[in-house]
Each structure stands twice: as structure tokens, then as C-alpha cells.
Amino acid sequence: MSWKVALAVTLVVAAGTAAASAGSPNLLIPETSDDTVMLFNGFDGSLINPTFIVDTDILPFGASSPRNAVVAGNEIWFNDNSRDAVYRFSLDGTTFLGAIDTGLDDTRSLTVVGSTVYVSNDGTSNGAPGDNTVVTIDIPTASITGSFATNGEIEDILSFNGGLLINDIDNDNLDLYDLNGNFLSTFHDSPGTFNSGFIRDPQQMTLSSNGILAVSDSFPSGIFEYDLAGNQTNFWLTAAVGNPRGVHELGNGNIIFTSASGVHILDPNNGQITTSHGGVSARYIEPIPEPSSLLLLGLAGGLVTLRRRSR
């Protein structure tokens, strides 16, 4: 076998692997122990890079509490809970592009819908609109365009069914709003009692193959699953590794989640928990596209064509 054929075969196999995991983008997870943004494999939850964004070396004054990193247009944006700012980076995590550092206070999470980023806000410092509000930011101009009030203190916002699913940690509910901030209905009404049947202090929410996953920061500490009508269908206790914060379904069907002790993997079939990366205080989990798979496929296809023509 010639080196051209060997290289082509190697690339085709790698390209096939990349194509197979194309539905499982890698994952961005900020952590507040060292104030970095980590990168994890979206298929099996393994650690790829613990310092994908080393913001303390780049940002003015350094970051203090990065919470949620999302892909906004052709950039990565993440909010800093203590600095009351949203920071912008290149998609490869190496270049600081600027900050939105006025009009925000005590931010917890971000979500992207079209050309708009919705930011949870709690406070009036720094010119922010007040408690229990959502601030909207235009992605192309990186400028604040407005805000709206919600029913209670917010931890997370999820793009859902053409609108927004926003959790209310004052009332332990998950509420539906339209994109203009009008309240539509309560998606899941929780009594918030000390019972494993009900979520309390909900944190991150995410879409899953069976509906929606959400985590509970107070007893019972665990991961809840709801169908698309808001009915609870599953609950997994995670108290052994701490109160969960972020959650995401992996490509292999397992569930990756975060806590103050690290990043963990739950097998939903048996409830078994393993730790992917410990020793960090990890936060919310968001997907990031993997453009290299397309390049790899192109290279493999080109080399196979070259081999066929050389016969």
C-alpha cells in the first residue's frame, strides 16, 4: 500500500468518525476555580482542553466568575457574574474582541435566538434594569436593545418552541414567554417542597431527545426530565457529587452535568455517575460547532480522488 493510499484511508476513517459525531458538537463549560472556559467532547463527555479560553490573561482586570459561554454569530460570548459584563472572543478562543460592560448586573446565563442574545439580569448596578429582568443584546452591533421583567429571579433562559423557557427560582417554576417578553404560561408548576418529586432552585435547562432536562440546586439535588408538555418523566439524584448547575445530553445518550466539584457523567439507564474532570467549580454547558470535520472530509475526499486518478 502506497503512502498516498495509507494516508487517504487514515483520513477517510477519521472523517467517518467526525461525520458520525457531527450531531454531537463539542461543549463549552466555564469554571470559576481558575476562571477559564473548558472544552469537552460532545459525544462522550471527555475533556479536550481545560484552558480553551484563558480569560484572566487577556481581559482587563481579569475575569472573576465566568458562568455561561455561547456561540453568538461567529464569536464566543460569555458572561461574567461578578464583573457585570459579557465578553466576546473569537471562535477558536484565542482573541479577545471586546466587552459589553454597561447595563448589566449579576448576570447568570445567556441564550441565543437568531441575531439576539438574551441575558438574565438581577440588579440595578452599572445601569442595569433591575431584579428579575432579561436584557436583550443585538449580536451584529454588540449593543443592548432592551429588557423585560419576569415573574421571579432568573437562573437560565432556553430557546424553546419559538419562544423562551425561563426558570423562576423564587417560585421554583419553569415559565414560557414569547420573544418580546410577554408571559404566556407556566410550563412546569412546582410546589417547591422538600420532596424528590419536585424541582427546587432550578438552574440550567436544555433540550434532550426525550424533552427537556433541568437541574435542581437545592434538595433534592438532581437532574429532572420533562416531556414537551411540562410533565415530569424522570429524576436522577446527584447528591454524591454535589448540587448540579449545568446539564446537557451527550451524543452517546449519557448526560453530562456540572457541580462545584467538577464535570460528571450520568448513565440514565442505571443512575451511575462518573467524574470526567474533577477539582474545578464548573458552570453551564453549551455546544460549539466543530468546523474541522468539514475540512477533514474535504481532504479525505481529495486524496481518494487523487489515488483513483493515479491508477
Q: Tell me if 212 is assigned to some domain.
A: no
Give residue 14's pLDDT.
Answer: 37
Q: What kind and span of H or E run contains 134?
A: strand 130-138
The boundaries of the domain holding residue 37 are 23-200
Mean per-residue pLDDT over the chain, rounded: 85
Give residue 291's pLDDT.
Answer: 56
Supply angle C-alpha 74, 77, 80, rounded to 5.
170
Q: Tell me if 37 is assigned to some domain.
A: yes
Give residue 4's pLDDT.
Answer: 37
End-to-end CA distance of the chain: 13
Q: How many CB atoms lie within 10 A of CB 195?
A: 11
Q: Tell me if 61 is assigned to some domain.
A: yes
Q: Tell me if 269 is assigned to some domain.
A: no
Q: Give 193-234 pLDDT, tens digit per residue.
A: 666 578 989 999 999 999 999 999 888 889 999 999 999 999
Query: Residues with Cβ < 8 Å from 298, sequence gap 6 or more?
Result: none
DSSP state string for 238-249: -GGG-----EEE
Of the CA atoms within 13 Å of residue 34, those in its CB half-sphere come to 14
Global confidence as pTM? 0.85
Our count of domains for the chain comes to 1
Mean pLDDT, contiguous 10-residue spans, the chain (311 residues)? 36 36 82 92 97 70 81 95 91 91 95 98 95 98 98 96 96 96 96 73 96 91 95 93 96 97 97 97 93 40 33 33
Q: Tell me if 281 is assigned to some domain.
A: no
Task: State the CATH number of the domain containing residue 51.
Answer: 2.120.10.30
Name the β-bridge partners of 88: 77, 98
Q: Tell me if 307 is assigned to some domain.
A: no
Q: Tell me if 143 is assigned to some domain.
A: yes
Q: Tell me if 33 is assigned to some domain.
A: yes
